[in-house]
Structures are given as structure tokens and as C-alpha cells.
Structure 1
């Protein structure tokens, strides 16, 4: 099944992904991982809540950590272009029969809460509190030196349907994996901000969040993080990598936080600004689509993910699988 043509004038204008809210079971352990090890900056903290940003970000936060009894994902956030886009988005989601609510969110102005058809909780805003720049405050650079949040990847029980929906609201496909036997899309990468992706969808039991990714300056920062994690009690949290993806061309590392939420450390993908850029197709059985150097991913990478609050998971009917590490 071919990917849909991009919609260049969508019903409302999404600028980029913005933030994720994680439920975590031990906020002190999560702080040690995200702040002391990865190097994200604390922008505020209250009883049971921690707000973080990366070094190049001017918005108040890109991750919210909320202490809870069980780990989960509360919401994925996106920034819209201007105020009229919020009302256009509310009208559009309501017309699709999807839930629409206006919610109060700390450090954000008017915020729209909804879900996509699979049940992923989404929120959209225009204005988030701005903080002074810190990208040249080099004494703050620690851990892997995270510069900015880069993308979300979700498990989807129907990747073709997920791509069709996000295409309708203006995301454009950059690369995709096709199962040659069924003709269906097994995974797809879609962007708004001009990189390879703001969102991606991987075939599997869903909806679940596969990972959140952070952009870092160079592959050497990833090597530094591996040295740090392997000598500070986080050896078991290193899941996959380092390596270079065939899809996206990015250098990568996947690690797990204390609750199992997967974080990708990511750099070196390419620019996709041109609206007529043709998507790149990969065959599911191509060993270089996962890793350009041919190394397959472990089984956990295809099977484990973070649940979304309030979403009902279903199994995918597409049972095709890429090469999996023994």
C-alpha cells in the first residue's frame, strides 16, 4: 500500500512536537537518570512533579515527570503556529468524532486535549512560558549534552491507518518500511519541523509509546554516555547501540529509564524541508534498514513499550517481522 501524498495545506498548522509527560514510580530515581546521567536541566519541581528541558530549548519543558503508582505516558504535546490554529484544531477533531477538551496546564496558555483514533492522548498549545537561553552556558552541559527533543515513536496496531490520520493533519512521510508480501506499511516516519521525523509508527501491539528521542551534538557524546552509564550502575539500562540507522541515517543509542521508558539518543539525520521531497522506501527484510552496519535489534525493541493512560491496546493483524537479534 503506497503512502499517501502530503497535504500541504492542512486544517491547522502544527509547528513541531513539544513535550511528553511520563508517570514514574520513584521520582528521585528518575531525577538521577534524566538530570544527573542524561544531563537534562530542571526548570521547576514541586511535590511529586519534575519539569525538564534540554540545552537549546527556550520553552519551559520538554519532559514532565509525575510520580505515580505505575509507569505510563499521560500525554504527547505539540506546538501550533498561532491562536486561530487552536480553534481550527478543536473543530477538526470534533468533526472526526474525537474527544475535545480545553484543559489547564502549568506553564502553558490555552491548551487543547484530544486523542487520535487509536487512543493516543494528545495536547496542542501555542504559547508556553519562555525561559532565558542556556545553550551557551557551557558549565551546565552534562551527561550526553542533550540539545532538544527530537521525536516520538509509537507502536501502532495499524500503521497504514496511523499514517493516514497524521498525514491528514499535515505530517509528511519521509521514509517507510513496506512488507513486500502484504503490500502494507510496517513502519513510517513523518515530520513537521524539517528533520526526518517528529512522529514515527512501528507495527505492534498498540497504541504504546516506543520511545522519545533527544538530539545530541555528536556521536562522541553517545560514547561518553555509554562510558558514564556503564560505570555508574546503569549497565543494564543500555538496550541497543551505538549504531547508525539505515532509515534516517542517524547515529543512535537506546537506553531505558528506571521504569523501562525507552529513550533514544540521536544525531546526524538529514534535512527534509522541501514539501515535494519523495519518501524513501525500505523493504522489511533489508538488514540495513534497522542498522546501516547490518546489526539487528533485540527482541525487546520490537515487543516492549510504555502504555498510554486511558488507551485500549490491541494486537496488530500484520504479523510480518524484520530480522531480530538472537
Structure 2
């Protein structure tokens, strides 16, 4: 099935991905992972919530850790251009018959929650409290030195449908994997901010959150993190990598937090701002699509993900499978 033509004039303007809320079962242990090990900065915390930002970010937070009994993923949040876009976004989702619930969020302006057609919980807002810049406060740089949140990747039971819906929202496909036997999409990478992706979809039981990714300055930061994790009790949380993807050209590492939420540490992709940029097609059977070099992805990478709170999980329709490590 061909990917849709880029929608350069969507009904409202999404600027970029913004943040994610993760439910964690042990807030202190999660703090040790995200703050002491990865190096994210605490911008506020209470008895049951921690707000974090990365080093280049001016917004109040890029990830929210919320204490709960069962680990899960909550809203994937996106920033829109202005309040008018927020109102037009509300109309778009309402006209689709999708829920629109206006909610109060700390440090954000008017915010509403909805879900995409597969049940992924989404949140939209126009303004977040701004904080003083810290990107040149090098005394604060720790761990992997995370600069900014980069993208979400979600398991989708039907990638063709997911790409078609987010294309309506103005997400443009940069790279995609097609199963030649069926002609259907196995995965796709879609952007708003001019990188390879803000949102990606991988074929699998879903909807579930596959991973949240953070951009770091260099591959050496990833090597430093591996040394740190190996000597501070986190070696078993290293899942895959380091290596380089064929898709996106990114140097990568995948790790798991104390509750199993997957985090990608990521650098070295490329710019995609041209509106007429042609997407790159990959064959599912190409061994270099997921790993240009490095060990193949383990079975867990294809099968495990974070359940979205309140979403009904369904098996994928496409049964094709890429290379899996033994």
C-alpha cells in the first residue's frame, strides 16, 4: 500500500512532540535511573510526581514520572503553534468522533486529551512555562548528557491506518519499511519538527509505547553511559546496542527503566525540513534496515512495550517478521 502524499496544510499546526507521562511503581528508584544515571534535570517534585527536562530544553518538562501501582504509559503530548490551533485541533478530533476532554495540567496552558483511532492517548497544548536556559551550565551535565526529547515509537496493530491518520495531522513520512509480499507497511517514521521523526509506528500488538528517545551530543556519550550503567548496578537494564540503524542513520542504545519502560539514547540522524523531501523505502528483509552494523535486535525488542492506560490492546494484522537475534 503506498504511503499517502504529504499533507502540507493540515487543519492545525503541530510544532513538535513535547513530553510523556509514565506511571512508575517506585519513584525513588525511577529517580535514580532518570536523574542520577541518565542526567535529566528535576524541575519540580512532589510525593508522587517528578517533572524532568533535558539540557537544551526551555519548557518546564519533557517527561513526567507519576507514582502508581501498575506501570503504564499515559499521554503522549504535542505542542501546537497557538491557541487558535488548539481550538482547531479540538474541532478536528470532535468531528472524527474522538473524545476531547479539557484537563488541568501543571505548568501548561489550556490542554486537552484525546485518543487516536487505535486508542493511543494524546495531549495537546499551546504554551508551557519557560525556564531559564541551562545548556551552558556545564557543571549540571551528568550521565549521558541528554539534550532534548526526540521522538516516540509506538506498536501499531495496523501501521497503514496509523500513518494515514497522522498524515491528516501533517506528519510527513521520512522513511518506511514495506512488506513486499503483502504490500503493507511494517513500520514508518513521521516528523513535524524537521528531524527523521517525532512519531514512529512499528508493526505489533498494540497500541503500546515501544520507546521514548532522547538526543545526546555524540556517540561517546552513549559509551560513557554504558560504562556508568555497568558499574552502578544497571547493567541488566541494557537491552540493545550500541549500534547504528540503517533507518535514520542514528547511533543508538536501548535501555529499560526499573519498570521496563524502554528508552532510546540517540544521535546522528539528519535534517528533513524540505516539504518535497522524498521518503526512503526499505524492504523488511534487508538486514541493514534496523541494524546497519551491530547485533540484531533481541526478541524482547519486538514483543515488549508499555501498555497505554485505558487502551484496548489488539494483535497486529500483518504477520511478517524481520530478523530477530537468537
Shift of 1:101: 1.2
Task: Specify the alignment match of 1:303 in structure 2.
Answer: 303
**Structure 1 contact 287–295 (Cα < 8 Å) conserved:** no
The SS at the match of 2:315 is coil
1:139 aligned residue: 139
- Aligned equivalents of 1:213, 1:90: Cα separation in 2: 27
Question: Structure 1: where are the runs of 5+ without partners?
Answer: none
Q: Which residue of 2 aligns with 1:101?
A: 101
SS of 1:193's equivalent in the other structure is: coil
Matched residue, 1:41: 41
Within 5 A, what are the aligned runs for 1:54-203? 54-203=54-203
Q: Is the 8 A contact 2:243 2:294 kept in 1?
A: no
What residue in structure 2 maps to residue 281 of structure 1? 281
2:314 maps to 1:314: yes
CA deviation profile, 1:278-319 (whole Å, cap 9, x unmatched): 000000010000111263200000000000011000001111
SS of the equivalent of 1:300 reads helix
CA distance in 2, matches of 1:191, 1:203: 18
Q: Give CA deviations for 1:178-206 in whole Å, capped at 9, x if unaligned.
A: 00100000000000000000000000000
Contact 2:103 2:113 in 1 (8 A): yes
Q: Deviations over 1:200-221 (max 9, x none)?
A: 0000000000000000000000
2-side partners of 1:5 and 1:237: how far apart?
Answer: 40
Is contact 1:19–1:76 with CA below 8 Å preserved after alignment?
A: yes
**After TM superposition, which residue ranges in structure 1, 4 or more long, deviate above 3 angstroms?**
none
Deviation at 1:234, TM superposition (A): 0.5
Contact 1:287 1:294 in 2 (8 A): no
- Please, what TM-score do these two structures have when normalized by structure 1? 0.99
Distance 1:136 1:148 in 2: 14
- Any idea what SS the aligned residue of 2:93 has? helix
Paired position in structure 1 for 2:31: 31
The CA RMSD measured in Å over matched residues stands at 0.5
- CA distances 1:58-81 after superposition (whole Å, capped 9, x unpaired): 000000000000100111100000
Return the alpha-carbon distance in structure 2 between the equivalents of residues 294 and 218 of structure 1.
17
Aligned to 2:265: 265
Deviation per CA, 1:97-144: give whole Å up to 9, x if none.
100111100000100110000001100000000000000000000000
TM normalised by structure 2 equals: 0.99
- Is residue 51–residue 61 contact of structure 2 (8 Å, CA) maintained in 1? yes
Confirm or deny: 8 A CA contact 1:288 1:294 kept in the other structure.
Answer: no
Unaligned runs of 5+ residues in structure 2 are: none
Aligned pair 1:233/2:246, yes or no?
Answer: no
In 2, the alpha carbon distance for the partners of 1:234 and 1:45 equals 24
Query: What is the alpha-carbon distance in structure 2 between the residues aligned to residue 109 and residue 166 of structure 1?
Result: 24
